[in-house]
Structure 1
Amino acid sequence: MNKNFVIITSFISFIAFSSLLGCDNQRDTGSICKKNPELCSDLHADSWCRYEKADLIRKRFKLKFTESPTGKEIYQHLLNLEKYNQCIELAAGVQHILHPERTNDRLRAFGLSAQSLSQMQDTTKESKDLYLAFYHWTRFSDLDAEKIVLTAQSADQIDDIVILSHIASYYQKFDAIRAISIYLEVLDMSNEDNFNPDWLLGLANSYQRLNDFELTYLLSRANVLMTDQKVSEDKMLALIAGDAELSRYLDKQADELVDVIEAGDFKQSAIKAIFEREAPSK
């Protein structure tokens, strides 16, 4: 994939030259900008959005020395640019009374980053790469991109937990059994660092569609344990016909589920078998 595919307009002209320089391992963004001003010239100067700005600079720096970026690297660059653009848009709305030039600088950075983002989106629109197709499916509801992602999942070609979780959510609306299968695959890949507790609610909803209210309760309870969200205990009990003894049993299982997910042990755990049982008849 050509490098011009990913490097934004403000430093396209530097690509050929930069490839001759060798890779600098410097990770300090101030030093990166000083040595590679083309990577930062379109960004704002003050301390607003410092994390989003730093992540974008580091991603640009890495791509500068990547001869053939992968679709995943381009996708991650798009995400970094999106986050920066969203943050600087908010910052641009804050009027600086003593230094109005700072507000103007943020407005300039917002305009340039929005332009760069739009250009990258246009350039990647027809890509057959999984990550770029996923981006265009989730951002623009692109049906061709959706087909690429769903076809890859059907062929067991996806091992990215975020993409799989989105596919599970997609099937949750009309194919609960398939959604459950994919959500369980997501749990197999989960650990404390990469897990999103909302996935438990998606799985709970899928079991509820199959009238498996015990697992709906168990998964909902596990979500509460992981998020500290407030929940109506009356509504929780209503899922299992007010059976207090069953509630205590399922609460213990929810504790166990949280433990194995956070430890990254769901795939080998005994509790996994509970979720593979046949759904109750309607």
Structure 2
Amino acid sequence: MSKIILLSILTMLLSACDGLGSITVKDICEKHPEMCSDLNPDSWCRAEKANIIKNRYNQSRASTDRGTYEQLLNFEAYKKCIAKASQIEHIKLKERKSERVKGLLTAERELKRLAQMTRNNNSPHLLYYHWSRFQNEDALKGFLAYENTPQMEYPEMQVALATYYIKFDRIKAIQLLYRALELYGEGDDIDNEIFLSLSSLFMKEEQFDWAYLWGYVGREFGVEDLNLTSIEVILHQQSRQSGPIEDKADTIIEQLNEGRFRAP
């Protein structure tokens, strides 16, 4: 058999495999309309809706506690978006407002249902959710019991631990945020709140060079609530130059993009 024929067969096989593993939101809604029909049908909150629909599909195939936690966050984001959209009147198509209200009611219903369903769940993700949202102290105790276990080796769980320690142990919070960054792989979407938190923590520690560095990194990853100029003024007052710090920050940005960041 010629190399050209072998190559053609291999290409077809790879294409077939790709097709089995890929499904669009449109495909899901056509095949499983019940996964989409309770959300607003117009273009508002497109990304938030897509996350909910894809999660519903994935959970229907293999339900996980982490998937349930992610869906709670998805519905929180959708509720925030659709609540804003439902206040906007369309002059010619006012019925669209009622469709958005339907989506808002869905978000409220699903958040209540999922919270009720998971109130006795002992997975770290859901224990953290019930502590952070409902101040459940028993959930907090259960969540902290997972510290230093493999179940916490996810970026979001390291960030969750940091939110607990941030009020009384800033150094540990910084270490946890560093660990979160180490756990991201190449191409992953990094939670840019990490950079804002690191810059703020270092400001409180009066380590202004590190505060500037993480603010600079955060700006490159889309953080908007940063005032690097004020930190730069402090550095100049201390006879520190921002250039070398920016060079170091550029190296860290490259490491993060390639999934090979290691805590300094």
- Shorter-chain TM-score: what band? 0.7 to 0.9
Match of residue 35, structure 2, among 12, 34, 39:
39
- 1:61-100 matches, within 5 Å, as 61-66=57-62, 69-100=63-94
Deviation of 1:89 after TM superposition, in Å, equals 2.5
C-alpha distance in structure 1 between counterparts of 2:84 and 2:145, whole Å? 38
Over aligned residues, Cα RMSD in angstroms?
3.2
Q: Does 1:125 align with 2:124?
A: no
Residue identity matched to 1:199: I
Match of 1:146 in 2: 140
Q: TM-score, normalised by structure 2?
A: 0.74
Deviation of 1:72 after TM superposition, in Å, equals 0.7
Match of 1:257 in 2: 252
Deviation of 1:174 after TM superposition, in Å, equals 1.1
User: Against the structure 1 CA distance between its residues 205 and 129, is the aligned structure 2 distance closer, same or farther, given a 3 Å change threshold?
Assistant: same
C-alpha distance in structure 2 between counterparts of 1:62 and 1:228, whole Å? 30
C-alpha distance in structure 2 between counterparts of 1:57 and 1:63, whole Å? 10
Residue identity matched to 2:80: Q
Matched position secondary structure for 1:152 = coil
C-alpha distance in structure 2 between counterparts of 1:64 and 1:212, whole Å? 48
Q: How many residues end up aligned between the 2 structures?
A: 243
Match of 2:130 in 1: 136
Q: Is the 8 A contact 2:82 2:103 kept in 1?
A: yes
C-alpha distance in structure 2 between counterparts of 1:46 and 1:210, whole Å? 47
Residue identity matched to 2:123: D
C-alpha distance in structure 1 between counterparts of 2:229 and 2:181, whole Å? 26
Deviation of 1:202 after TM superposition, in Å, equals 2.8
C-alpha distance in structure 2 between counterparts of 1:204 and 1:236, whole Å? 13
Q: Is the 8 A contact 1:217 1:240 kept in 2?
A: no
Q: TM-score, normalised by structure 1?
A: 0.70
User: Against the structure 1 CA distance between its residues 72 and 243, is the aligned structure 2 distance closer, same or farther, given a 3 Å change threshold?
Assistant: same
Deviation of 1:46 after TM superposition, in Å, equals 3.1
Percent identity (aligned): 28
C-alpha distance in structure 2 between counterparts of 1:48 and 1:232, whole Å? 33
Matched position secondary structure for 1:153 = coil
Residue identity matched to 2:245: L
Residue identity matched to 1:200: F
C-alpha distance in structure 2 between counterparts of 1:35 and 1:155, whole Å? 40
